[in-house]
Every structure is written in structure tokens, then in C-alpha cells.
Structure 1
Amino acid sequence: MCLPKTSEVLKLYRSLLRYGQTLQFTDKNYFKNRVTSEFKRNKVLSDEKGIKFYYERGQAVLSQKRIL
């Protein structure tokens, strides 16, 4: 897998925020804050391995319907 494009990362971010609004047994504000802080913390990543890892981790959250 090659590096995700900026538009793909933004799409993942928006999808995670939308997914957080559908959660029933989890604090929605906590989930939103956690997603936002993870993206802010990782926006300075420059190594391919780290970028791929966190992008795939975000996709796994969506596909497995679990929380962070």
C-alpha cells in the first residue's frame, strides 16, 4: 500500500467523527476529542511506516466498529 493522500486522510477523519456520533454506549464527546487529538498529534509524522500504521488503524476502527 502506498501512502494515503491528504484527501483520503481527511475523509477518514470525517468518517471517524460521523461514526462517533452513532455510538450508543460510549461518551460521544470523549470519542470526538480522542479522534481529534490523535489526528493533531500525528499530523507531524514524516516516516512512511508511521503514516501507514495510523491510517490503517483508523480504517480498522471503522471496519471493525470498535472504539479507539
Structure 2
Amino acid sequence: MELGYNLRMTNIAGAIGRVQLKKLDAWNAKRIENAKLLSGGISKIKGLVSPYVDERVKHVFHQYVIRG
């Protein structure tokens, strides 16, 4: 016998997720705007490297990782 998990989404979680998906583009735009501000400031600090963004893709900065 193996232990199993019920990983199905509840109806309420699904309904909340559908509403949040409508806001996704605005959230991503705000993340991109914030990342530009951070990258501008970080570029002035010696020894820190901001995330690389390839011009062929849209980076939504779910995580903003600084290298030092």
C-alpha cells in the first residue's frame, strides 16, 4: 500500500485563481518597472551584477537575483 495525496484544486481556489489571472499583466508590468529601477541603482554599485535580460524575451522578474 502506498500513501497518496489529493492535490486537486478546490473550487474556491480555482475561482480565486481565475480572478487573479485577470490581474497578471498589470502585476508583470509593475515587476518589470521595479526591476528597471533596481537595475539602474545596482549598476552604480561596484561589484554587484543585476539580472541579464535578453532583448528577445520578456522577463517578468518573478525573482530578482543580484550577483556579487
The TM-score, its normalising length taken from structure 2, stands at: 0.42
Structure possessing the higher radius of gyration over alpha carbons: 2
Greater share of helix: 1
The TM-score, its normalising length taken from structure 1, stands at: 0.42
